């Protein structure tokens, strides 16, 4: 598994609570395709409380993408919506939950304007 992806999800789990998601409940599973293997991350949100596991379980929303696309998303170099429109990821289930969750992904590294909080607690 990619170090940048692992670090992103571990920081999110370590943070424990995200004020931007205080009104949300649900689970999102990220299926990371890599050849014949599929790595999975399950993110559970319960009114802002976040838990992350590296497991395969049913989820309200499922995101399927390759490793390089997810690496780009967690580094701020790939916009999730743009990746979807280009066919680089597949979405299934509760898309409203995912639209709200996308706030956890950092913005582009060269973005200007007010800093935005990310799952790692570092402003982008």
Q: What is the DSSP string of 14-40?
A: HH-B-GGGTT-EEEEEEEEEETTEEEE
> What is the structure's pLDDT at 119?
52
| Residue 51 in this model has a pLDDT that exceeds 50 | yes
> What is the structure's pLDDT at 122?
45
> What is the structure's pLDDT at 123?
47
The Cα 109–Cα 111 span in angstroms is 6
Mean pLDDT of 72-87: 92
Radius of gyration in angstroms for the set of CA atoms belonging to the chain, rounded to a whole number: 13
> Phi/psi at 53 (nearest 5 deg)?
-135, 155
pLDDT band for 1, please (50, 70, 90 cuts): low
The Cα 124–Cα 118 span in angstroms is 7
Place of tokens 């992103």: 8
| Residue 124 in this model has a pLDDT that exceeds 50 | no
């Amino acid at each position: 598994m990619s170090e940048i992806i692992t670090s992103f999800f571990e920081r999110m789990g370590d943070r424990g609570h995200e004020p931007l998601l205080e009104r949300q409940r649900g689970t999102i599973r990220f299926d990371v395709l890599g050849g014949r293997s599929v790595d999975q991350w399950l993110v559970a949100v319960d009114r802002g409380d976040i838990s992350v596991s590296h497991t395969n379980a049913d989820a309200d929303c499922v995101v399927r993408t390759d490793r390089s696309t997810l690496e780009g998303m967690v580094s701020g170099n790939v916009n999730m919506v743009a990746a979807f429109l280009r066919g680089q990821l597949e979405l299934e289930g509760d898309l409203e939950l995912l639209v709200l969750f996308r706030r956890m992904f950092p913005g582009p590294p060269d973005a200007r304007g007010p800093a935005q909080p990310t799952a790692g607690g570092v402003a982008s």
